[in-house]
Amino acid sequence: MNPLVAGLNRVGARQLDTERIKKDFPILNTKIRGKSLVYLDNAATTQKPIQVVNALSSYYLESNANVHRAIHDLGARATELYEGARERVAGFIGASKPSEIVFTRNATEAVNLVAYAWGRRNVGPGDEIITTPMEHHSNLVPWQQLAGATGARLRFIDLTPDGRLDMESFYRLLNERTRLVAVSQGSNVLGTINPVAEICRAAREAEAVVLVDGAQSVPHMPVNVASLGCDFLAISGHKMLGPTGIGVLYGRADLLEAMDPFLFGGDMISYVHLETAGWNEIPYKFEAGTPNIAGAIGLAAAIDYLEGLGMEQIESHERQLVKLAMHRLGELGYVEMHGPAGDRAGLISFNIKGIHPHDVATVLNEEGVAIRAGHHCAQPLMEWLNVPATNRASFYIYNDEEDVDRMVQAITRVKEFFRHVIV
């Protein structure tokens, strides 16, 4: 058994040994204002274990070369590592073949790739795109732009009062004009886990394509594209222990084959003459220029680390933490939490009446607790919540009950500091 996974908890799932896990993350030894760091901003980006840092260093020190077509040994070694990373990603999410994995800069670029390369060819006047009010701007603005450019119409699934998708609303919207459904598997504000497998089944019957934003799900729970039945999946590497600047688009091979390239230049071509050019096979026709080789290698190392822990164990660990945190915050009496009460991802968005989230986050930073404050790139959802912004605490593999205690204690300091405005 992996030494980072300890014994059984009360429900029979193996627990993460957070004390040992923390040792793999040197940054967690950082002092903030003289206090030990409690990092609860994982929905924005995760910290990197030494294993990922070493993978990056090893590539640059031992295998640094450009990939593909090189004759020399360093080039062959770099290509093997890069394509090996593609295979690791494919296996991690259950893709049928590595060629269904396109490396991008981030999940945002993955969504934009689909909006341009698939959307401009397949969406036209009178067509409809279904999405939700809880989407990150990265899974909303590209569809706004596509609709504006093609004459298509955006339709939005209603939300229930507790922040879930109203599936009756979805079924009312889904019709023969629907070309695309774009939905996040997990909300980065509400913590809602959406029923994407059900959405994919219904969309397939309507002959519509589904893009799933997996930025807040793939790092935190088992995700299998075959089980979900999605056509596209966008992934963010830096939210799952990997480096910044690396993302993934999973796409069904037949869809990718039929799509035009998004960017043009080197490596994405099969031939070039002065006035004509032909495109490379998938996935390479979507990876113009020198890719983020080190980023892909670091992402593979991150996947190794996560799979060593077990995605089921990670999901269970986070759900226990968020349940504890919601209970502790609920006891305070002056904290308003947003999103479903149960069956949710490992994050909490909350407000303290009369205090702007930026002020709350500032006080918590003084106590060494790092949370997020703002609209979290989800301004339409802030409008739905009728708040300008929220605080957000998001948990990951190296967080534990002591971190929850530190956060709650820091929030009581907010009450002391702003006692004249809290009612």
The CATH number covering residue 338 comes to: 3.90.1150.10
Residues 149 and 31 in one domain: no
Residues 210 and 271 in one domain: yes
Confidence of residue 423 (pLDDT cuts 50, 70, 90): low
pLDDT (mean) for 359-371: 97
The CATH number covering residue 264 comes to: 3.40.640.10
Residues 182 and 221 in one domain: yes
Cβ-based neighbours of 183, under 8 Å, separated by 6 or more: 130, 131, 132, 135, 139, 157, 165, 194, 196, 199, 210, 211, 212, 213
Give the model confidence (pLDDT) of 210-233 as tens digits.
999 999 999 999 999 999 999 999
Residues 204 and 71 in one domain: yes
Per the domain annotation, does 300 fall within a domain? yes
pLDDT (mean) for 66-88: 96
Is residue 392 scored above 50 in pLDDT?
A: yes
- DSSP string spanning 372-396? EEE-TT-HHHHHHHT-S-EEEEE--
Is residue 9 scored above 60 in pLDDT?
A: no
Instruction: Give the model's pLDDT for residue 115.
Output: 98
CA–CA gap between residue 303 and residue 308 (Å, rounded): 8
Q: Report whether 49 contacts 43 (CB < 8 A).
A: no
Is residue 5 scored above 90 in pLDDT?
A: no
Q: Report the candidate in 383, 411, 402 with the shortest Cα–Cα distance to residue 135.
A: 383
- Residue 230 catalytic? no
Q: Report the candidate in 45, 371, 343 with the shortest Cα–Cα distance to residue 215.
A: 45
Residues 172 and 319 in one domain: no
Find the helix or strand (DSSP H, E) in which 180 lies.
strand 178-184
Tokens of 222: 């088992």
Is residue 161 scored above 70 in pLDDT?
A: yes
Cβ-based neighbours of 144, under 8 Å, separated by 6 or more: 154
Cis peptide before 283 (omega within 30 of 0): yes
Residues 173 and 258 in one domain: yes
Q: Report the candidate in 305, 300, 294 with the shortest Cα–Cα distance to residue 57.
A: 294
Give the model confidence (pLDDT) of 257-316 as tens digits.
999 998 999 999 999 999 999 999 999 999 999 999 999 999 999 999 999 999 999 999
Is residue 14 scored above 80 in pLDDT?
A: no
Residues 212 and 299 in one domain: yes
Residues 268 and 375 in one domain: no
pLDDT (mean) for 336-355: 93
Find the helix or strand (DSSP H, E) in which 85 lies.
helix 73-93
Give the model confidence (pLDDT) of 16-41 as tens digits.
999 999 999 999 999 999 999 999 99
Per the domain annotation, does 423 fall within a domain? no
Per the domain annotation, does 178 fall within a domain? yes
Is residue 1 scored above 60 in pLDDT?
A: no
Confidence of residue 342 (pLDDT cuts 50, 70, 90): confident
pLDDT (mean) for 396-400: 98
Q: Which domain holds residue 79?
A: 53-307
pLDDT (mean) for 368-390: 97
Last residue of a domain, one of 307, 325, 354: 307
Is residue 422 scored above 80 in pLDDT?
A: no
Residues 26 and 150 in one domain: no
Per the domain annotation, does 387 fall within a domain? yes
Tokens of 41: 């901003």
pLDDT (mean) for 129-136: 98
Per the domain annotation, does 234 fall within a domain? yes
Cα end-to-end span (Å), the chain: 50
Please enumerate, as own/partner, the contacts of 376-379 that have beta carbons within 8 Å and a separation of 24 or more: 376/43, 376/136, 376/188, 376/189, 376/349, 377/136, 377/137, 377/138, 377/188, 378/134, 378/135, 378/136, 378/137, 378/187, 378/188, 378/189, 379/137
Per the domain annotation, does 199 fall within a domain? yes
Is residue 10 scored above 60 in pLDDT?
A: no
Catalytic position from the list 377, 384, 409, 422: 377
Burial zone of 75 (CB within 10 Å; 0-12 exposed, 13-18 middle, 19+ buried): middle
Q: How many domains does the chain have?
A: 2
For residue 334, give the 3-state DSSP assignment.
coil
Instruction: Give the model's pLDDT for residue 13.
Output: 47
- DSSP string spanning 219-282? TTS---HHHHT-SEEEEEGGGGT--TT-EEEEE-HHHHHHSPPSS-SSSSEEEE-SS-EEEPPT
Instruction: Give the model's pLDDT for residue 8.
Output: 37
Tokens of 390: 């929220």
CA–CA gap between residue 130 and residue 22 (Å, rounded): 41
Residues 259 and 331 in one domain: no
Count of Cβ atoms closer than 10 Å to residue 293 Cβ: 22
Indicate the average pLDDT of the chain: 95
Count of Cβ atoms closer than 10 Å to residue 405 Cβ: 14
CA–CA gap between residue 27 and residue 36 (Å, rounded): 10
Last residue of a domain, one of 307, 338, 353: 307
pLDDT (mean) for 333-355: 93
Question: Roughly what angle, to the nearest 10 degrees, separates helices 293-309 and 50-58?
Answer: 150
Is residue 12 scored above 70 in pLDDT?
A: no
Instruction: Say whether pTM exceeds 0.85.
Output: yes
For residue 8, give the 3-state DSSP assignment.
strand
Task: Please identify which residue in the block is written with the tokens 């002092």.
Answer: 31
Instruction: Give the model's pLDDT for residue 419.
Output: 74
Per the domain annotation, does 410 fall within a domain? yes
How far from 291 is each of 225, 251, 272, CA to CA, in Å?
Answer: 24, 18, 20
Last residue of a domain, one of 280, 307, 334: 307
Per the domain annotation, does 321 fall within a domain? yes
Q: Report whether 297 contacts 81 (CB < 8 A).
A: yes
Question: Roughly what angle, to the nearest 10 degrees, separates helices 401-417 and 357-366?
Answer: 120
Residues 221 and 81 in one domain: yes
Residues 72 and 189 in one domain: yes
How far from 155 is each of 158, 171, 193, 388, CA to CA, in Å?
Answer: 10, 12, 20, 24
Instruction: Give the model's pLDDT for residue 417.
Output: 86
Confidence of residue 4 (pLDDT cuts 50, 70, 90): low
